Structure 1
């Protein structure tokens, strides 16, 4: 482990958000009230649709946005009233924000030079970061001579050369093409495993969230819908919003009614045994639905099929609703217009029809 790895690990600090609010003008609340604990050394992804407040939250942590109310602690310090440079954070922006007239070396070293670090120490620190990021042979180039991925690595190098306690990313991969996004995700994951910096990464891309995060904080209209590990969020979504936001295709959500014994779909088909009483929303992921399952099945009409190579997605009309069924590569799906399906009880979810919040996960097997 190099000196800079050790220094960043040692500097990693927790982030505490205590009833943080953000308002613009009179009555325009972007974040009504938000509380969360982000652990030291953890990679936290803030995920949500456009306009949900995720970048605003990141900017408040960095000090680029004023906090309307509440407290932000980094480590043991309250920082909501401190200038950005005094918070111990470093930020990587969506547009790289590199100085085009400076070399890669000078871009990375800029903050150290401004801080008055001696030249010999700057040289050593920058060379260490450049080696870590695969930029050692590019230090004399200008940003205009680099690819998008290389420019992004320079931006990351400029952030971590300061050995920050907190590393912030504001949708850093959105300007890259699909292959570069994949490559940079791998590089970011490897970098985090190496330096273990406290990282907050904002994105609207669920793939980035699922592949990079230790935990994902899902925002909806400035409020936390769920904050948990990728696996827990995927398997046990806390709400319909989360269930439909995570997954491709997203979770199927069907209207159902329980009489205390069974759940019945809108077209009258009984889908599962359940003690639930009253209306609900029944959720199941496309890949969890069994096709031609024999006893205890429901039937639907095939609307269309999508062959995606590794798997197929079949759209099935059940009553007035359409669900999607993902079948694995090589699965033999009947070409007839009618298809029989079964929802495994351990893979179903029940949500409140009014609030959208999860009521229960799992139903019971139908009696043959």
Structure 2
């Protein structure tokens, strides 16, 4: 089944939300492209659910405009916006069977019985629920109940499909399975999808683009690859990644970046205070002097963590400066060992100390 309604772009123009004097979302402008799967990612309290609720019409805007296509919708009731929402709480009717739960909105809208049954059957087939239609929610697993909630939303053939942390109540295996199903579902129905989460794995695996929110402000809005490989700020660099990016305070003298004790880390033309960033998996473990120009450091290992697919070493770059190093190399590493590492220039990041914003092209020369 392919949904027949055309997707709508979502344009947010100076959108703002306050509760009294408390500003939750300062004026925010962004465009969510038609048919795109956008993930709004951020920590608890950053305003991501509030933003989703304003798009849905469940929260009134304090200021600004919301456009679905070229149609302003910020003053419309939710039922007139042409969007559907899947909540963290499944909110299914326990006394209704699966078929009635999925088709409830169609019945309220006055859709004829034959058409209603056809669309319920199509959605159930798409979601693997065809043999569950006569059951009630209490007879279903958590994953099945979440699929029913999704079915109830997409049966209306919405132009905009909204998800408010829909996987957070599921266990790890079900979350993995549902991520795959959601990605496949999005490709099939083509609706503009907006998905709110605090889980970076969900964001990186589902999104066409990720909007990273911090205190109601957009830190970065880009593809998962760009957000991970070229974080626009210290916040993005430290929020995304497991383990997160190493951030080391340095001082540039116009030729090199150095630690507070004067130790040179890398050649760089930057002058002033900054934070040097490198992801744990980008640090090179070397067994001999590399042919490239990177400096080599011999660091004592202070702690090791074996997480199955790789190990994470905590090594002392300087007193009170610890680097976390992710490696899949064989062999054991003990807290009494030392490792030789190099910092590859093409994988390094530099951030301004005051603003926290990335300094572009710092290592291009």
TM range (shorter): over 0.9
- 1:274-333 deviation digits (Å, cap 9, x = unpaired): 000011100000000012362521233211001122110000122221110001142676
Q: Provide the rounded CA distance (Å) in 1 between the counterparts of 2:160 and 2:306.
A: 43
1:182-223 deviation digits (Å, cap 9, x = unpaired): 010011011111112100000000000000000000000000
User: Cα offset for 1:48?
Assistant: 0.0
* TM-score, scaled relative to structure 2: 0.95
CA contact (8 A) 2:3 2:188 kept: no
SS of aligned partner of 2:114 = helix
Give the C-alpha shift of residue 51 in structure 1.
Answer: 0.1
- Sort the Cα spacing of 1:329 and 1:337 in 2 relative to 1 into closer, same or farther, 3 A: closer
How far apart in 1 are the matches of 2:363 and 2:282?
Answer: 14
How do 1:116-265 and structure 2 match up within 5 A? 116-265=110-259
Please report the RMSD computed on the Cα atoms of aligned residues, expressed in angstroms: 1.5
Supply the distance in 1 between the matched residues of 2:298 and 2:261 (Cα, whole angstroms): 10
Name the count of aligned residue pairs. Answer: 359
- 2:18 equivalent to 1:23: yes
Contact 1:282 1:351 in 2 (8 A): yes
| Deviates most, 124-133 or 187-196 | 187-196
The answer for the alignment partner of 2:309 in structure 1 is: 310
Distance in 2 between the 1:299 and 1:236 partners? 28
1:11 maps to which residue?
6
What SS does the aligned partner of 2:314 have?
strand
CA 1:287/1:361 → structure 2, altered by over 3 Å: closer, same or farther? farther
Give the match for residue 328 of structure 2. Answer: 328
Range that drifts further, 248-257 or 313-322: 313-322
Q: Which runs of 5+ in 1 are unaligned?
A: none
Measure how far apart 1:336 and its partner are.
4.9
Matched ranges for 1:353-368 at <5 A: 353-361=353-361, 363=363
Give the TM-score of the pair, scaled to structure 1. Answer: 0.95
> Equivalents in 1 of 2:35, 2:331: separation in Å?
43
Residue 107 of structure 1 aligns with which residue?
101
Contact 1:269 1:298 in 2 (8 A): no
Unaligned residue ranges in structure 2 (runs of 5+): none
Contact 1:346 1:362 in 2 (8 A): no
- Cα displacement string for residues 202-254 of structure 1 (whole angstroms, at most 9, x for unaligned residues): 00000000000000000000000000000011110000000011110000000
The answer to whether the Cα contact below 8 Å between 2:10 and 2:67 also exists between their aligned partners in 1 is yes
Distance in 2, Cα, partners of 1:334 & 1:87: 59
Distance 1:308 1:117 in 2: 53
Q: In structure 2, the residue corresponding to 1:360 is in which secondary structure?
A: coil
